[in-house]
A and B are shown apart, each in its own frame.
Chain A
Amino acid sequence: QVQLQESGPGLVKPSQTLSLTCTVSGGSISSGSYYWSWIRQPAGKGLEWIGRIYTSGSTNYNPSLKSRVTISVDTSKNQFSLKLSSVTAADTAVYYCARDPIDYGDYVGAFDIWGQGTMVTVSS
């Protein structure tokens, strides 16, 4: 059973860089059958897709965040990571990592497995 777990600082100062890691267990991040996404949700608000990465390192980002986002993958650790630079209070949110299948017959175009989420607060 594949599980995802987010980790990282819960408090980040304004203008600094938010860094989070998602650890994949119960399966290989290198399987080639999935993209790996980051999604966030401010308190009381809706979901926002941030970006995704494939095992090859190929990425797609939300245009509204693209200038500040970097997603990377470390296949040796079965992890992928998010960096969001120049953060402000508007970046305060619960951050989720999620799996995005690409194989025909799988849950294509959807996020089938999610981490539990990690709260990140931007404050001095």
Chain B
Amino acid sequence: QSALTQPPSASGSPGQSVTISCTGTSSDVGGYNYVSWYQQHPGKAPKLMIYEVSKRPSGVPDRFSGSKSGNTASLTVSGLQAEDEADYYCSSYAGSNNPYVFGTGTKVTVL
């Protein structure tokens, strides 16, 4: 099972929006509505930001939104803030034989 493909980097100015893609296959992203997104600051554990493609856990700002089309999921961060600068990883359920696969990760820079 290959890692999901994400762009290595993305950036935006404060207040702007940035969208990160996560491309998989019909065996993972395209086959299940169990795509999640994680934010990771340096030296810290990942934090769940989006689950089931577009749902936000309690406490996550509504500036974070998720969507999916075919084999590609996306995370959009609107109204960028300095604290949004971090690495972001997607993950997808991929069936009972190998339940989870992660994306390659995207570093978001707030200019």
Contact = CB atoms under 8 A, between A and B. Distances in A.
Interface stretch (A8-16, A44-52, A69-77): A44-52
B89 A47 contact: yes
A60 interface: yes
A49 B97 contact: no
A71 B15 CA distance: 45
A24 B84 CA distance: 29
9 contacts: A47-B105, A60-B98, A96-B46, A109-B34, A109-B36, A110-B34, A112-B51, A114-B46, A114-B47
Given A60-B96, A63-B1, A108 B45 contact: no
A112 B48 contact: yes
Interface in B52-106: 52, 57, 89, 91, 93, 96-105
List the 6 shortest-distance A-B pairs measured between CB atoms, nearest first. A109-B34, A110-B36, A110-B51, A49-B100, A114-B45, A47-B102
Nearest to B50: A110
A49 B92 CA distance: 11
Nearest to A46: B105
Best-surrounded residue of B1, B35, B46 (most CB of chain A within 10 A): B46
A79 interface: no
Interface of B: 1, 3, 32-36, 38, 45-48, 51-52, 57, 89, 91, 93, 96-105
Chain A interface category by residue count: 20 to 34
A39 B32 CA distance: 21
A117 B34 CA distance: 24
B104 A46 contact: yes
Contacts of A114: 45-47
A37 B101 CA distance: 13
A115 B46 CA distance: 9
A110 B102 contact: no
B91 A110 contact: yes
Nearest to B89: A47
Interface in A71-93: none
Contacts of B104: 46
Interface in A31-57: 37, 39, 45-49, 52
Interface in A85-124: 96, 107-112, 114-117
